[in-house]
Structure 1
Amino acid sequence: MVLPPWRRAGFAPGLLLAAAVAALAMTLSRVPLLQGAGLSALTLAIVLGIGLGNTLFPRVAPYTASGVDFARSTLLRLGIVLYGFRVTFQDIAAVGWPGIAMAVVVVAVVFTLGTWLGTRVFRLDRETSMLIGAGSAICGAAAVLATEPVVRAQAHKVSVAVATVVVFGTVAMFAYPWLYPVLGLDAHHYGLYVGGTVHEVAQVVVAGRAVGEQAAAVAVIEKMLRVMLLAPFLMLLSLRLQRGDAAGGGRLRFAPPWFAVAFIAMAALNSLQWLPPALVAALVQLDTALLAMAMAALGLRTHLGAVRQAGPRPLLLAAVLFAVLLLGGRALVQVLAWAS
């Protein structure tokens, strides 16, 4: 008889450990110096988790494993569901068809290119390539975490992908405002550019506000459009992988990831604006806590030896995708400006 997670030894201590790391990360993310550097609670949670995972955690792993694994899997999916309360369908109308086109093209091209370059050019495994592609194309660490259950990647591969998008998202956060005077874009189109190509939401806010509030507002809305594409992206990716399994002799039974469907449902509910703003704000805060716990648990389960074994190739792939976002994104904004 298989016991449910909450009845297994180590469930409560493991969950408390992940919660403690997440709480510390959320507290540190509000420190002005770290906030100004664009370090989100998710980024700090995985850094703290990896630190503990390679020092103290192995000693207590036998007593906490089931709770940590529950946070890494089930709480992750619940966090993705609640992520829907960060977006509304009204966001689409706010930036019009150029914003929609920007988001769709970036997600499709960057993920496809990342998967192809990763497997064919850099000789990475498919899971790592897809995770780096998803993180670069959609919303950084959150997209990597959301894609992991679909591709069924190992913990160290997820950590490698998260590390790459954090590095280049941070570079973008400082590089875009520095380049603004030579980009030749007004505040609106600069916002589209930032929201359509920078990795993390926190980094988008910093890069947008460095130019002005109008740019920041457009950037955040455009970023939310990319976030909204997470659900259909996961469904299409799941179908694609299952078709591949069927072609290899398996049976095709498409079952879309339930958390992706629920994500859309929460976004739809949020769009109706039936819930009090205070409740939505509380749900967003809860979502941050759940995702931070998932990140912390992922870090606790990550061994630096496996990360080092990956070598420089994941970083090189992320660097190429960053260049595509930087240069290709600027060209795409120009095309959309002419077309509109």
Structure 2
Amino acid sequence: MKRGSAPRAQFTVSRILDMAPGLVATAAAVGLSMAVTSVLPTVSPLVVAVALGGLLANVGGLRPAFGTGLAFAGRPVLRFGIVLLGLQLAVGEVIGLGAAGMAVVVITVVATFAATVLLGRALGVSRDLTILVASGFSICGAAAVAAAHGVTKSDEDDVALAVALVTIYGTVAMIALPLLGVPLTLRADQHGAWVGAGVHEVAQVVVAGSAVGGVALAVAVVVKLSRVVLLAPLVVGLGLVERRRTKHDEMTARPPLVPLFVLGFLAAVALRSTGIVSEGVLDVAGFLQKLALTAAMFALGTGVRLAAMWGTGQRALLLGAASTLVAAGVALVAVLALF
């Protein structure tokens, strides 16, 4: 046995013991979040989890012993969840949209992200919060917020506020877009494409598409998942921007050119696209992905300080409203022009 091997094993055991309190608290929060979602299916467990984390932190329930476990849930577990998210996507489904469908997706995502960044500057919202809101509203809600947080220097307060905005305005869009299809005389496929491009969270799209029914639901889900595909180039782009903003003499602080979890996400997409992964495995992976992202959101939520969020609340609400209108408006115009 080499010298130093025993201490290394001892350190590993010690590390696990250090993480245990935080991981137990995280597991309890995940279980409660899932229970709430089972009663209220329109409420994402990610949203419940970040709220529970914020509540724990702000009522004085957060203990120093939780720190190591929460740090593990907030980074490695988060990235594992994003990798598993790639298994929801098959390239063939995206190609099946055709040129018109992909054009709607790309136009909506690019326009929403760019407009949100410009509006954030105009409203005086911080750069980090603006980037998180732009990512969440243009791509896939809370998961995109978490992915953007992984390559930027945003703090937990910004993450919690961005997730809250996604929930509020995604819910509004989830209710409004199905109701507006009839007065706008949209065909079923047009209505589904609009819902998929204009509603923020995947779960919200499923609910809104179900309200329309038939062909609209299938189209809405495929369009939405096509938006999720753009998560990888978005995160890579944000990582490049962050590298340029970081001084060259701070090489250790600079984010990687392409984060490993993005490569894992792309590998998961490629694996799903081969068709060799069974439905049973996909179901398990989908469940694990939801657990991982819910755990990560609870961990991030424990870093929230309501007093720090209060000053930016009104401007952030305006930004969320404007971003939602841009997403829905651009998506509608693109659908009417191209479908």
**Is the TM value for this pair above 0.5?**
yes
Tell me how far apart the structure 2 counterparts of residues 150 and 11 of structure 1 sit (CA, whole Å): 24
Give, in angstroms, the shift of residue 324 of structure 1.
0.9
Residue ranges of structure 2 left out of the alignment (5+ in a row): 1-6
Give, in angstroms, the shift of residue 336 of structure 1.
0.9
SS of match in other structure, 1:184: coil
Letter of the aligned partner of 2:34 in structure 1?
Answer: M
Tell me how far apart the structure 1 counterparts of residues 299 and 13 of structure 2 sit (CA, whole Å): 15
Native 8 Å contact 1:21 1:293 kept in 2: yes
Correspondence for 1:109: 111
* Superimposed CA distance per residue, residues 74-126 of structure 1 (whole angstroms, 9 cap, x where no aligned partner): 1111110111111110111221111211111111111122112212x111211
Alignment of structure 1 residues 3-22 onto 2, 5 Å = 7=15, 10-22=18-30
* Superimposed CA distance per residue, residues 126-173 of structure 1 (whole angstroms, 9 cap, x where no aligned partner): 110100000110001110011001112110011111111110000011
Correspondence for 1:239: 240
Letter of the aligned partner of 2:32 in structure 1?
Answer: L
Give, in angstroms, the shift of residue 234 of structure 1.
0.7
Q: 1:88 to 1:249 in 2, by over 3 A?
A: same
Further displaced range: 191-200 or 308-317: 308-317
Native 8 Å contact 2:239 2:255 kept in 1: no
Alignment of structure 1 residues 248-259 onto 2, 5 Å = 255-259=257-261
Correspondence 1:41 to 2:45: yes
Give, in angstroms, the shift of residue 56 of structure 1.
4.6
Alignment of structure 1 residues 70-81 onto 2, 5 Å = 70-81=72-83
Residue ranges of structure 1 left out of the alignment (5+ in a row): none
Tell me how far apart the structure 2 counterparts of residues 236 and 46 of structure 1 sit (CA, whole Å): 26
Native 8 Å contact 1:72 1:294 kept in 2: yes
Correspondence for 2:215: 214
Tell me how far apart the structure 1 counterparts of residues 136 and 336 of structure 2 sit (CA, whole Å): 24
Tell me how far apart the structure 1 counterparts of residues 272 and 14 of structure 2 sit (CA, whole Å): 31
Tell me how far apart the structure 1 counterparts of residues 259 and 289 of structure 2 sit (CA, whole Å): 18
Tell me how far apart the structure 2 counterparts of residues 174 and 299 of structure 1 sit (CA, whole Å): 27
Native 8 Å contact 1:21 1:45 kept in 2: yes
Correspondence for 1:171: 172
Correspondence for 2:59: 55
Tell me how far apart the structure 2 counterparts of residues 206 and 253 of structure 1 sit (CA, whole Å): 37
Q: 1:266 to 1:5 in 2, by over 3 A?
A: farther
Correspondence for 2:331: 329
Correspondence for 2:3: none
Tell me how far apart the structure 1 counterparts of residues 223 and 16 of structure 2 sit (CA, whole Å): 43
Tell me how far apart the structure 2 counterparts of residues 103 and 158 of structure 1 sit (CA, whole Å): 25
Q: 1:274 to 1:295 in 2, by over 3 A?
A: same
Tell me how far apart the structure 1 counterparts of residues 259 and 271 of structure 2 sit (CA, whole Å): 19
* Superimposed CA distance per residue, residues 290-320 of structure 1 (whole angstroms, 9 cap, x where no aligned partner): 0000011111221211221323111111110
Count residues in correspondence. Answer: 329
Alignment of structure 1 residues 193-204 onto 2, 5 Å = 193-204=194-205
Percent of matched pairs sharing the same residue? 37
TM-score, normalising length: structure 2:
0.92
SS of match in other structure, 1:181: coil
Give, in angstroms, the shift of residue 57 of structure 1.
2.5
Give, in angstroms, the shift of residue 71 of structure 1.
0.5
Further displaced range: 104-113 or 283-292: 104-113
Native 8 Å contact 1:5 1:11 kept in 2: no
Correspondence for 1:280: 282
Give, in angstroms, the shift of residue 213 of structure 1.
2.6
Tell me how far apart the structure 2 counterparts of residues 89 and 176 of structure 1 sit (CA, whole Å): 27
Tell me how far apart the structure 2 counterparts of residues 68 and 254 of structure 1 sit (CA, whole Å): 23
TM-score, normalising length: structure 1:
0.91
Tell me how far apart the structure 2 counterparts of residues 250 and 49 of structure 1 sit (CA, whole Å): 32
Correspondence 1:96 to 2:104: no
* Superimposed CA distance per residue, residues 184-218 of structure 1 (whole angstroms, 9 cap, x where no aligned partner): 21110111111011000111011111111311110
Letter of the aligned partner of 1:26 in structure 2?
Answer: M
Correspondence 1:262 to 2:270: no
Give, in angstroms, the shift of residue 276 of structure 1.
1.9
Tell me how far apart the structure 1 counterparts of residues 249 and 114 of structure 2 sit (CA, whole Å): 25
